[in-house]
Structure 1
């Protein structure tokens, strides 16, 4: 077993999902966020969006799946925890029925502190960038 970050700069993976109405309602139930932006179609018809929008945090959460998948892809032998996200922005709304793709790309590696930094980009089916962030993974060294 190796106590090193299992990635190279530029390693990437993507995860795609179509966001359904039930996804949004389940997420609202879990988080307690029942904002009319997500729940009230008639109200949203009066806004520039013209329809309900998906919780930004729900679309952003797909980055967590991508971070797990890149570790599987790398056959990571060392465990890790999410150390946090920086520079999170919701650039464009995601609508019910949109298919979003979270792209996760390793941009920095800190072997001394056993951390990696990844660029997170979430696109809709039109290729429009909807969400961005940086994700830091902290790897947990094995005891010697």
Structure 2
């Protein structure tokens, strides 16, 4: 059986189940400030903790939504190993993405993945869709939910 077909069968058996929960990551003010510098997004709700504490309902500075989203890659590294025969994985985008709750500086986040579907696109490509929830420690409402697409690329058949 070809590696891609073996991976497809393994994945199909997991559809609808939780396939990974990542480690927690601290999102502190230093991380937020570095992200603001990198992206040139220095809106005060992110980089001015004193003002954010006084003028927002959040109690302090909050992380950029895209910072929270960017941690999804780290969470995926915690949860997934390449399939046997896979030569690379590619971020293929999102079918749905919603930011549900602000991430206050000093919060810890983790990712939770549920496999929604897997499709064999070619003899070298599997497209997986995972429901991703990025949780905030101690909060009932997650930071975000997304349907994340990932392309697993296998060596082309000989």
TM-score by length of 2: 0.80
RMSD, aligned α-carbons: 2.0
SS in structure 1 of the partner of residue 4 of structure 2:
coil
Shift of 1:41: 2.3
User: 2:25 matched to 1:24?
Assistant: no
CA distance in 2 between counterparts of 1:69 and 1:76 reads: 17
Q: Which residue of 1 aligns with 2:111?
A: 102
Shift of 1:13: 1.4
User: 2:50 matched to 1:54?
Assistant: no
Per-residue displacement from partner, 1:111-143 (whole Å, max 9, x unpaired)? 245211000101111142121111111122312
CA distance in 2 between counterparts of 1:90 and 1:25 reads: 20
1:1-144 mapped onto 2 (5 Å cutoff): 2-4=3-5, 5=7, 7=11, 8-9=14-15, 10-15=17-22, 16-44=24-52, 45-72=54-81, 75-78=83-86, 79-113=88-122, 114-128=126-140, 129-143=142-156, 144=158
Structure 2: gaps of 5 or more residues: none
SS in structure 2 of the partner of residue 54 of structure 1:
coil
Structure 1: gaps of 5 or more residues: none
For these two proteins, the number of residue pairs brought into alignment is 143
CA distance in 1 between counterparts of 2:67 and 2:21 reads: 16
Ranked by relative contact order (alpha carbons within 8 Å, sequence separation 6 or more), the top structure is: 1
TM-score by length of 1: 0.87
